[in-house]
């Protein structure tokens, strides 16, 4: 990029907020040393896409309130910081690896528009990374970054968001999977360690046996080797020790305000049954059966936000919604960007049914709402479908459950546009129909229904003089959906939902989202959101390369045809010149011979 003016690189707002001017061009190209071939490779990579379309859209102004304008050191260049944090999650790097990439990787320098090799421009400390990441997590700016990047890519690549698909993927934070015994032991251990640090006198008053049992880290390993036959007794002992500690310090506010004490109280409430003391018997505590422990119970004291899913285990879930191309032509799909339009992190125990409308509303607010949405049956409950329809989105998904009975079904009846029965499966029209609210009733002749071969397996009910069919609007819609699912039209439209499974695999394979380095809901949301933005960048790079290859190949063909045309034209001109030259010679030297030959 060459410009005719010099460039003022460094700008400082109030001598604190340090940013760089990335809009003004350079007088001399700082990347001229690469050569045309390496420069082309760099421009076609993700670094070129990031530099051209994303860098300038990073919301550096949102970080300004985090710094004091009166008393503070100048910040690190904010475009660089935000870009580094995005690339770190996109490439699934540790802090040390991120520092090395920024220091020595020329692709990163090109993407972040770093033109000098000074330490101030190419070095970032782990402390700065940690502080900036903490600011973004606490302020929830990860969502702002994702929305900015998604909006830019949708505009640059002219993404058609009318057709989208939605699914979830299970992820794990950096926590160990613990059983019930180890959860009790780790929680008590954490409380005693914190008590020793903050309240030494209270800690010394505890019995030595209790401290020897839970404080040494090596003693906790014994709880992992408990025999199945002894697990019930061990759980009872752990529950008793937990309850005793809670009771001993229940009147001390400084202790009850400790996070580790509150975790013990949570474990007692979720996994134990306490019988209050009476005049005749003291209070007792007993562990609950595994099936009675709630799915949102504490799974590990190191990550209190994680929950449990009976199908996928401990951790979190990420809800992803993406656009897709329903063209069978592979070349067309390669040049179409499947853009992740919405990402939301939930606890593992939350139902998918609760994720549909927030996703639609979020994309609608940003102008990326779908008109047609493919999803699993959990998302596509009838209530959800009607609510989405009101918002302008048609949800296409299979119905849950299976139809009962083997005879005539409600879907075999013919209905009008307002939901009234027009005819039965045998073609008989009802004598009359009536409705109240959402409840409809159709009345059929006893002569027709009594002689019908399907009456024993038909949903109509026999009355005193006639037969009656009663149904709700919701039941009718579900029946009609089940009938539609057997058609070729539904199968042809719904077959594109399977592509979201490949997206989930790509999401993990390229960004490592299923095994994170952090714990806690906020940190997990930060990583999953920026990794989704990184996946969008990877996809956009591939699409841009495919489009450029097509344009280049097309241009090469046009150029070849033009060169061929130019060559033929030049040859024709030479031929005409030669003929004229021959005619002149013939007229002068051999006029009779040439004329007779002609």
Per-residue pLDDT of 161-188, as tens digits, reads 999 999 999 999 999 999 899 999 999 9
d(CA 140, CA 126): 21
Q: What DSSP line would sit under 512-555, residue for residue?
A: -TTB-S--SHHHHHHHHHHHHHHHHHHHHHHHHHHHHHHHHHHH
Which runs of E-coded beta strand occur in 157-282? 163-171, 272-275
SS3 458: coil
Residue 402, domain member (yes or no): no
Other CB atoms within a 10 A radius of the CB of residue 93 amount to: 17
Q: 425 falls in which pLDDT band (50, 70, 90)? A: confident
pLDDT tens readout for residues 82-116 = 999 999 999 999 999 999 999 999 999 999 999 99
Name the residue among 361, 333, 397, 330 with its Cα closest to residue 166.
Answer: 397
Q: 564 falls in which pLDDT band (50, 70, 90)? A: low
DSSP type of residue 54: I
Return the pLDDT at 585: 41
Return the pLDDT at 220: 84
Structural domain tally of the chain? 3
Residue 567, domain member (yes or no): no
Q: What DSSP line would sit under 257-308, residue for residue?
A: TSHHHHHHHHHHHHHEEEEPP-SSS--EEEEPPGGGS-TTS-S-TT-TT-EE
Residue 159, domain member (yes or no): no
Let me know whether 286 and 193 are in one domain: yes
Structure tokens at 337: 């960007």
Query: For residue 504, what are the contacts with CB-CB under 8 A and spacing of at least 6?
Result: 167, 169, 320
Question: What's the alpha-carbon Rg for the chain, to the nearest Å?
Answer: 36
Alpha helices in 9-162 (DSSP H): 36-44, 46-49, 78-91, 95-104, 106-111, 119-122, 126-139, 141-156
In Å, how far are 57, 80, 130, 295, 505 from 139, measured between CA atoms? 18, 19, 14, 29, 30
For residues 114-139, give the mean pLDDT.
Answer: 93
**Cβ(544)–Cβ(551) under 8 Å?**
no
Give the range with max mean pLDDT: 245-254, 271-280, 555-564.
Answer: 245-254
Let me know whether 16 and 127 are in one domain: yes
Single pTM value for the model: 0.84
For residues 33-50, give the mean pLDDT.
Answer: 93
Chain position carrying tokens 């009675």: 292
**Cβ(521)–Cβ(345) under 8 Å?**
yes
Q: What is the dihedral of CA 522, 524, 529, 531, to 10 degrees?
A: 150
Is the pLDDT at 222 greater than 90, yes or no? Answer: no
Query: For residue 222, what are the contacts with CB-CB under 8 A and spacing of at least 6?
Result: none
Q: Among the three residues 292, 325, 343, which one is the final residue of a domain in this structure?
A: 292
Return the pLDDT at 428: 87
Is the pLDDT at 589 greater than 50, yes or no? Answer: no
pLDDT tens readout for residues 477-523 = 888 888 888 899 999 999 999 999 999 999 999 999 999 999 999 99
DSSP type of residue 404: -
For residues 220-243, give the mean pLDDT.
Answer: 89
Residue 493, domain member (yes or no): no
Query: For residue 184, what are the contacts with CB-CB under 8 A and spacing of at least 6?
Result: 235, 238, 239, 242, 267, 271
Residues in the chain: 598
Residue 312, domain member (yes or no): no
In Å, how far are 14, 81, 128, 282 from 132, measured between CA atoms? 19, 8, 6, 53
Residue 543, domain member (yes or no): no
Q: 579 falls in which pLDDT band (50, 70, 90)? A: low
Residue 528 CA to its chain's centroid (Å): 7
Let me know whether 103 and 202 are in one domain: no
Is the pLDDT at 189 greater than 50, yes or no? Answer: yes
Return the pLDDT at 198: 94
Q: Among the three residues 431, 462, 486, which one is the final residue of a domain in this structure?
A: 486
pLDDT tens readout for residues 350-389 = 999 999 999 999 999 999 999 999 999 999 988 999 999 9
Q: 15 falls in which pLDDT band (50, 70, 90)? A: low
Burial status of residue 36 (CB atoms within 10 A of its CB: 0-12, 13-18, 19 or more): exposed
Q: Which domain holds residue 444?
A: 410-486
Residue 379, domain member (yes or no): no
Q: 406 falls in which pLDDT band (50, 70, 90)? A: low
d(CA 357, CA 119): 48
Return the pLDDT at 421: 87
Residue 263, domain member (yes or no): yes
Q: 587 falls in which pLDDT band (50, 70, 90)? A: very low
**Cβ(561)–Cβ(345) under 8 Å?**
no
Mean pLDDT of the chain: 86
Let me know whether 123 and 30 are in one domain: yes
Q: Among the three residues 246, 276, 292, which one is the final residue of a domain in this structure?
A: 292
**Cβ(211)–Cβ(202) under 8 Å?**
no
Beta pairing class for 10-13 and 313-323: unpaired
Let me know whether 130 and 16 are in one domain: yes
């Amino acid at each position: 990029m060459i410009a005719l003016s010099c460039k003022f690189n460094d700008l400082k707002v109030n001598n604190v907020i340090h940013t760089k001017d990335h809009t003004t061009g350079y007088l001399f190209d700082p990347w001229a040393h690469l050569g045309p071939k390496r420069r082309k490779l760099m421009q076609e990579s993700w670094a070129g896409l990031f530099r051209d379309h994303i860098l300038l859209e990073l919301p550096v102004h949102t970080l300004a309130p985090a710094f004091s304008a009166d008393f503070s050191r100048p910040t690190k260049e904010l475009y660089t910081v935000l870009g580094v944090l995005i690339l770190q999650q996109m490439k699934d790097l540790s802090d040390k690896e991120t520092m090395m990439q920024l220091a020595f990787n020329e692709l990163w320098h090109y993407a972040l528009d770093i033109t000098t090799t000074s330490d101030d421009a190419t070095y970032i400390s782990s402390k700065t990374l940690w502080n900036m990441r903490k600011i973004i997590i606490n302020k929830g700016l990860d969502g702002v970054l994702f929305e900015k990047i998604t909006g830019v890519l949708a505009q640059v690549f002219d993404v058609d968001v009318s057709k989208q698909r939605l699914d979830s993927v299970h992820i794990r934070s950096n926590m160990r999977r613990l059983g019930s015994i180890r959860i009790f032991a780790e929680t008590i251990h954490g409380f005693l360690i914190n008590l020793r640090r903050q309240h030494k006198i209270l800690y010394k008053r505890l019995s030595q046996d209790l401290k020897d049992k839970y404080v040494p880290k090596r003693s906790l390993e014994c709880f992992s080797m408990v025999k199945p036959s002894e697990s019930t007794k061990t759980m009872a002992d752990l529950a008793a020790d937990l309850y005793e500690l809670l009771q001993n310090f229940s009147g001390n506010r400084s202790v009850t305000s400790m996070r580790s004490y509150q975790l013990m109280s949570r474990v007692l409430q979720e996994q134990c049954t306490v019988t209050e003391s009476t005049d005749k018997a003291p209070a007792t505590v007993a562990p609950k059966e595994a099936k009675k422990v709630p799915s949102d119970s504490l799974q590990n004291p190191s990550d209190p936000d994680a929950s449990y899913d009976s199908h996928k285990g401990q951790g979190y879930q990420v809800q992803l919604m993406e656009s897709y191309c329903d063209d069978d032509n592979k070349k067309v799909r390669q040049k179409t960007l499947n853009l992740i339009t919405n990402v939301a992190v939930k606890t593992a125990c939350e139902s998918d049914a609760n994720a549909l409308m927030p996703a639609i509303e979020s994309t609608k607010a940003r102008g990326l709402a779908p008109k047609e949405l493919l999803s699993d049956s959990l998302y596509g409950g009838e209530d959800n479908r009607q609510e989405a329809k009101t918002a302008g989105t048609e949800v296409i998904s299979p119905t849950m459950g299976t139809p009962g009975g083997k005879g005539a079904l409600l879907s075999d009846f013919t209905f009008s546009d307002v939901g009234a029965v027009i005819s039965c499966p045998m073609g008989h029209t009802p004598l009359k129909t009536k409705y109240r609210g959402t409840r409809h009733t159709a009345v059929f002749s006893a002569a027709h229904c009594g002689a019908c071969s399907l009456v024993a397996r038909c949903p109509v009910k026999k009355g005193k003089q006639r037969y009656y069919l009663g149904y709700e609007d919701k039941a009718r819609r579900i029946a009609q959906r089940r009938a539609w699912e057997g058609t070729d039209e539904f199968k042809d439209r719904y077959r594109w939902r399977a592509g979201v499974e490949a997206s989930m695999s790509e999401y993990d394979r390229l960004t490592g989202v299923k095994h994170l380095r952090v714990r806690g809901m906020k940190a997990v949301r930060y990583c999953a959101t920026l990794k989704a933005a990184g996946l969008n960048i990877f996809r956009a790079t591939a699409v841009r390369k495919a489009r450029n290859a097509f344009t280049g190949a097309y241009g090469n063909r046009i150029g070849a045809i033009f060169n061929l045309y130019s060559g033929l034209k030049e040859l024709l001109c030479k031929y005409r010149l030669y003929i004229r030259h021959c005619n002149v010679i013939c007229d002068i030297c051999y006029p009779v011979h040439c004329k007779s030959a002609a």
